[in-house]
């Protein structure tokens, strides 16, 4: 998360449920703030397991740069 070319600058995650090996999770990322002068944004994350239970929650500041040749 959130994708190729992303560099995490800061993270604050709270793990609330263990995830097992081979367990499928569904990620949710919401953009909360965009910097107008740089490709930096603040996001909130809330992935859930197959039963819909929250696995972790938190926030991050990320820098997204274009990949060469993309």
CATH of domain 6-64: 3.10.129.10
Residue ranges per structural domain of the chain: 6-64
pLDDT, tens digit, 9 for 90 and up, residues 29-45: 899 999 999 999 999 99
Query: How far apart (Å, rounded) are the C-alpha atoms in residues 49 and 18?
Result: 9
Query: How far apart (Å, rounded) are the C-alpha atoms in residues 11 and 46?
Result: 13
Query: How far apart (Å, rounded) are the C-alpha atoms in residues 70 and 4?
Result: 10
Give the pLDDT of residue 3: 77
Give the pLDDT of residue 68: 76
Give the pLDDT of residue 4: 81
- DSSP string for residues in 44-70: EE--EETTS-B-EEEEEEEEE-PPTT-
pTM over 0.85: no
Give the pLDDT of residue 67: 74
């Amino acid at each position: 998360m959130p994708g190729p070319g992303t560099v995490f600058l800061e993270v604050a995650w709270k793990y609330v449920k263990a995830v097992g090996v081979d367990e499928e999770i569904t990620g949710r990322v919401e953009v909360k703030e965009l910097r107008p002068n740089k490709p930096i944004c603040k996001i909130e994350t809330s992935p859930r397991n197959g039963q819909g239970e929250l696995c972790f929650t938190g926030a991050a500041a990320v820098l997204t740069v274009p990949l060469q040749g993309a």
